[in-house]
Amino acid sequence: MTARLLDGKAVAARVRGEVLARTVALAARGLVPGLAVVLVGEDPASAVYVRSKAKAARECGVAAFDYTLPKEISEAELLTLVRSLNDDPTVHGILVQLPLPSHIRTRKVIEAISPEKDVDGFHPLNVGLLAQGTPRFVPCTPLGCMTLLAEAGAELAGARAIVIGRSNIVGKPMAALLTARDATVTLAHSRTRDLAGEILRADVIVAALGRAEAIRGEWIKPGAIVIDVGINRTAEGKLIGDVEFAAAAERASAITPVPGGVGPMTIAMLLANTVDAAASVTV
């Protein structure tokens, strides 16, 4: 392997240390940042995420308020909870874990979250601010990817960057962030023609398509930086990314491992967003 490994676990630990320093300073002013984490239903993967979010919050001096609701809860009841959290001065950040059950309109729930408490950055106001290049809250996974690119020393201005996957949670905000840093951005997706050719031109590759090892090592331009957002479980229970890691690491200058790359960054950035939300409250 020739690529430098971008150690998300180590970078996330550093970010969490910075968050802790900020919560200690805020506590001295009598302000404890609070994060409400709402989970509807018992999807096991979501339950694991939500538990680790709450645990990491407490370790960083952020008060975590857990709301685990039965999957039968009505949309109206969920909206009532969100509005009560909007009005609760001890709550600075609100996270509603996605996906929601199909009888609940996700858009309605996201739009009900106060934009000032939208630490996921999913509210249309925050999406619009990011699109205009004046972000307030930025979705946590793309923010983590940008932090790892900084760690890699990526020169983004003028670079060719490709994002594979156009989700609202990762791909679209990632493309906006890279654009704001003056990269020349291609947003590729399942209908892209000649994906290999597009990737081969790129200096920076962000893979977020959610298909195990779909990005082949020979598609990586020598010296490119590879950020792998994918987390896929194999039949043997192993976690692998969207990039064919071993072959890509022979060509890339830097690459994130899976697990231990982007994954740990997401929660660290969520906590950073929560402390930002609390710090912007005038007490």
Measured from the CB of residue 217, what is the shortest distance to ligand GUN in angstroms?
27
The residue nearest ligand GUN at its CB is 98
Q: How far is the CB of 266 from ligand GUN (least distance, A)?
A: 6
Return the residue matching tokens 């697990």: 259
If you ran DSSP here, which 8-state letter would residue 209 be given? Answer: S
Is-catalytic flag, 53? yes
CB of 236 to ligand GUN, least distance (A): 24
The one catalytic residue in 7, 66, 118, 120 is 120
Which residues ranging from 10 to 29 are in contact with ligand GUN (CB under 6 A)? none
Query: Residue 145 in contact with residue 265, Cβ under 8 Å?
Result: yes
Shortest reach from residue 56's CB to ligand GUN, in Å: 13
Q: Are 109 and 96 in contact (CB under 8 A)?
A: yes
Contact 95/38 with Cβ under 8 angstroms? yes
The residue whose two tokens read 């064919």 is 244
169 touches ligand GUN by CB under 6 A: yes
Q: Where are the alpha helices (DSSP H) in the chain?
A: 8-28, 44-59, 75-86, 106-112, 124-131, 140-151, 171-180, 195-200, 245-249, 262-279
Query: Between residues 63 and 96, which has the closer beta carbon with respect to ligand GUN?
Result: 96
Per-residue binder mask for ligand GUN (CB under 6 A), 63-102, x = binder: --------------------------------xxxx----
Per-residue interface string for the shown chain with ligand GUN, residues 237-266, x marking contact by CB under 6 A:
-----------------------------x
Amino acid found at 76 = A
Instruction: Map residues 196-235 to x or -, x wherever contact with ligand GUN holds by CB under 6 A.
Output: ----------------------------------------
Active site residue 120: yes
Of 67, 14, 22, the C-alpha closest to 40 is 67
Nearer residue to ligand GUN within complex by CB, 23 or 97: 97
**Residue closer to ligand GUN, measured from CB, 97 or 253:** 97
- CB of 113 closer than 8 Å to CB of 83: no
- Give the x/- contact pattern for ligand GUN in 131-160, rule: CB under 6 A: ---------xx-------------------
Which is the catalytic residue, given 9, 43, 71, 97? 97
Phi first, then psi: give them for residue 33, nearest 5 degrees.
-60, 135
Among 120, 151, 213, 228, binds ligand GUN (CB under 6 A): 120
> 156-192 b/e with 16+ CB inside 10 Å = b?
beebbbbbbbbbebbbbbbbbbbbbbebbbbbbeeeb
Nearer to ligand GUN, 97 or 274 (CB): 97
Q: Is the peptide bond before 44 cis (omega within 30 degrees of 0)?
A: no
Contact 112, 79 (CB under 8 A): yes
Contacting residues toward ligand GUN, per CB under 6 A? 95-98, 120, 140-141, 169, 266
> Which residues carry out catalysis?
53, 97, 120
